Structure formats: C-alpha cells, structure tokens
C-alpha cells in the first residue's frame, strides 16, 4: 500500500477513507444525509458558526481544559513523562460535549425541531440532553435495556435534563441496537428530526464532522505542549470504542511523523477468549458494513454482527470509526487492546496516585501507558486522553471488586 502525502486530507467526496466509510443507508435517509453534508460544509466555512462554537466551548464547556503533568504516576512508572489531557473536566464530565455543541448548532441552523441520539454508557446521552436543554429542543435518547440497568445515574441525569429516555429491547439491548432504533426513528421522522451521532462512525459526513468537532482536543494539546515543553509530544494514547476522543486527539498530529499514536481497544476477557469475549473491532474483527459505513466489525463468518463484551459500556460496540480502520491499514496509528482486569487496575492506580477517578473507558488507555511507559526514556513525552470522569462507573467497579454500595 502506498503511503499518502498527507493523512489529514480524508475523506474523499464520497466519504471514503481508503475502502472505509461511505454512505450505506436506506434510500429514505439519503436525502437527509446529503442535507446534513451540505449544511455542515456551509457551517464549517462560516466565521459566525465557528465563532459561536468557540464561545460556547469557552463559556459553557470550560475550554481549554488543562494539559496536566501526572508527576506521581510518572515517578511510579519510572520512564516516560506522562501528561493527562483533562477532558474529564469539561462540563458533563467527558469529551462528548465538544461534538454535541457543534452538532446542536448545526441542527438549529438547519431548522430542525427535534433531536434524537443513541447512547451506550450514557455519556453521549447526557451531553446531548444537556445541549438540548440549553437550546430548548425536545430530545429522545435511545439506550439499551442492559445499559440502562448498569448506568442508572446517567439515566436519571438525562431525565433531569428533560430528555425522554427510550429503552431499547431489540437485539442484544446495548449500544448497537440503540443505534438501530435511532435510525428507525430518523427514517420515520425525516421532516423535523436531527440525528446527533455521538462518535466518529455512521454514514458520511458524520465520521468527518464528529472528528472535526473533537479535534479541539489535539489542537489544544499541540499548543499546550509547546508552551510547557517547547516541543511536540512523542506519543499519544487514547481509548477507542467508536473512537471519537482518539480521532480528536490524533488528527491534528497525523502529519507529524515523529509523533507516535496508540489507540486502545477493549479486550474484555481477552481477545483470544472467543469472538464474544471482547470489543476489539480492529484487533479481533474484519472489515464489513454496518450503520452506514464500511469499517472493522466484530462479526461471524456469515456476516452477522456479534455483541462484543467490555466492562466499559462506552467501549462495548462491535464497530469502530472508519478513519481508524484506514489509519490502521496504513500503519499510521497502532492499535492495542487492554483487558477488563488491566483497566480495573489502572482505574484504581489513577485514583490513588493522582486523586483522579477516570472513566473506565479512559482507564483502558491508561493501562496501555502503564505497560509502555516504564521502558521508555525519561524525556519521552506521552499524552493520555483522559476522556471522561469515572463517577458513573463506581457501581460497576465496586461490583467487580466485591464491594456492596
């Protein structure tokens, strides 16, 4: 495979990153997808749109958030100098709000009257419900029955914010089924409804649009590292479910060959423990077509989609953003996988050493740093995307540690 001159030019006009991406949706949705694409192209070039987004991110979300030198963790690991990009300090406690601010401004610009979204762990649902409250738009969140049971605090948060949470009882009753239900809603309510997708997946233009809205993460890291260390970081590490926080961190650095990037998937019980034991689509899946795009998927020999497993409801998705699939094939980004147990250990380590309770999703990325940092030189600058706070996960973690709350 030939190496492109730039890794930042994609997708092409049809929404393809190499063979990945595309617009694999029902005809009923095609006119809407094309409308979103046109509206986004116009908004992106409009200084007023960019200006309002910037102001909302500063005043409402609290950006820029810090790039923090994790001194005790660094000393503990005894190798690379580890920095945390503190996305968990954003309003609503995760990176998801960056994308929601962008898309709600787009929905308003398009004259849409109602918002729908899917959610797994509930972080994107909470962020969507938040911006819908702020912009006074009715909002319906699809969430799997299984996820509702394991993420009760976020369900209550969404309801407090005025959202309707619809329990999804079809299929495996988790994130992929919630996305199916959201698509069914959209196809039924095409006139007035905007589908606010939470990750860098789905039909074009969503993967590119969500990446653009999340790229504020990497843009800030670039500037902040320049201020703190006078140079670029050596490596970037982020968890990958759909992969939006990772794309946001990575994208501004893709054309800096000296910057290494590692995307960390959920290995669940272990990638070698069978196809239903993990949620590592790139590490343990193969290319297929689902939810509007071609990408690496967990699937059986006959092309039926598998459920996947992870302790983290936010990583428990059988696909991954198409740009990640392409970056994997091109060899620009390395993809690794971390088990439930490794993530749990990193979760506790971070709490005790740094006084920060990370989301279980982010704990996967941290677990990879715990593996790598000790053997790297002390002048190696390593950045973790601390994508979310872990308060939502304390019940899950307590359960795994045998503690009753």
Sign of the Cα torsion 329, 384, 292, 300 reads positive
Catalytic residue chosen out of the listed positions 81, 87, 88, 96 = 96
The nearest distance, CB 185 to other proteins, in angstroms, is: 9
Beta carbons of 104 and 115 less than 8 angstroms apart: yes
The answer for 144, left when phi > 0, alpha when psi is -120 to 50, beta otherwise, is beta
Q: Is 170 a catalytic residue?
A: no
Nearer to other proteins, 183 or 315 (CB): 183
Nearest-CA neighbor of 243 among 281, 269, 274?
281
Phi, psi (rounded to 5 degrees) for 300:
-90, 180
Q: Is 96 a catalytic residue?
A: yes
The nearest distance, CB 319 to other proteins, in angstroms, is: 10
DSSP alpha helices (H): ranges in 175-274? 175-188, 206-214, 216-229, 244-250
Please give the residue ranges that form the binding site for other proteins (CB under 8 A).
Answer: 14, 22-32, 170-171, 176-177, 179-180, 183-184, 187-191, 288-292, 297, 299, 301-305
Beta carbons of 236 and 250 less than 8 angstroms apart: yes
The nearest distance, CB 154 to other proteins, in angstroms, is: 24
**55: exposed, middle or buried (Cβ count in 10 Å: 0-12, 13-18, 19+):** exposed
Q: Is 371 a catalytic residue?
A: no
Catalytic residue chosen out of the listed positions 85, 361, 387, 392 = 387
Nearer to other proteins, 162 or 171 (CB): 171
Nearer to other proteins, 26 or 258 (CB): 26
Catalytic residue chosen out of the listed positions 88, 118, 354, 361 = 118
The nearest distance, CB 259 to other proteins, in angstroms, is: 34
Residues 6+ apart with CB under 8 A from 254: 6, 7, 8, 261, 327, 332
Nearer to other proteins, 81 or 176 (CB): 176
CA max distance for the chain: 57
The nearest distance, CB 327 to other proteins, in angstroms, is: 21
Parallel, antiparallel, or unpaired: how do β-strands 67-69 and 81-85 relate? antiparallel
Q: Known catalytic residues?
A: 96, 118, 387
């Amino acid at each position: 495979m030939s190496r492109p001159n730039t890794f930042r030019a994609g997708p092409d006009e049809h929404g393809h990153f190499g063979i990945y991406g595309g617009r694999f949706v029902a005809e009923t949705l095609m006119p809407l997808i094309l409308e979103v694409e046109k509206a986004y192209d116009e908004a992106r070039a409009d200084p007023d749109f960019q200006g309002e987004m910037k102001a909302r991110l500063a005043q409402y979300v609290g950006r820029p958030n810090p790039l923090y030198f994790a001194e005790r963790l660094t000393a503990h690991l005894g190798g690379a100098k580890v920095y945390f990009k503190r996305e968990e300090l954003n309003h609503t406690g995760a990176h998801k709000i960056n994308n929601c601010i962008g898309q709600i401004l787009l929905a308003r610009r398009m004259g849409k009257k109602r918002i729908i979204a899917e959610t797994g762990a509930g972080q994107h649902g909470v962020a969507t419900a938040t911006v819908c409250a702020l912009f006074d738009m009715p909002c319906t969140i699809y969430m799997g029955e299984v996820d509702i049971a394991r993420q009760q605090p976020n369900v209550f948060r969404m309801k407090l914010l005025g959202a309707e949470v619809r329990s999804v009882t079809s299929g495996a009753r988790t994130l992929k089924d919630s996305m199916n239900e959201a698509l069914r809603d959209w196809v039924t309510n095409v006139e007035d409804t905007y589908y606010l997708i939470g990750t860098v997946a789905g039909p074009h233009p969503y993967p590119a649009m969500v990446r653009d809205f999340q790229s504020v993460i990497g843009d800030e890291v670039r500037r902040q590292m320049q201020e703190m260390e006078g140079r670029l970081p050596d490596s970037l590490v982020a968890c990958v479910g759909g992969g939006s926080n990772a794309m946001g961190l990575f994208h501004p650095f893709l054309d800096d060959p000296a910057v290494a990037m590692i995307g960390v998937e959920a290995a669940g019980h272990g990638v070698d423990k069978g196809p239903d034991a993990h949620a590592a689509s790139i590490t343990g899946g193969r290319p297929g077509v689902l939810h509007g795009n071609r990408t690496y998927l967990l699937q059986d020999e006959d092309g039926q989609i598998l459920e996947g497993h992870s302790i983290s409801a936010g990583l428990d998705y059988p696909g991954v953003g198409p740009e990640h699939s392409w970056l994997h094939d091109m060899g620009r980004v390395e993809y690794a996988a971390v088990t439930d147990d490794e993530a749990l250990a990193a979760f506790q380590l971070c709490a005790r050493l740094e006084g920060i309770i990370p989301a279980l999703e982010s704990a996967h990325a941290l677990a990879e740093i715990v593996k790598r940092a000790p053997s790297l030189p002390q002048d190696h600058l390593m950045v973790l995307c601390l994508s979310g706070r872990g308060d939502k996960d304390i019940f899950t973690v307590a359960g795994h540690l045998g503690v009753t709350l």
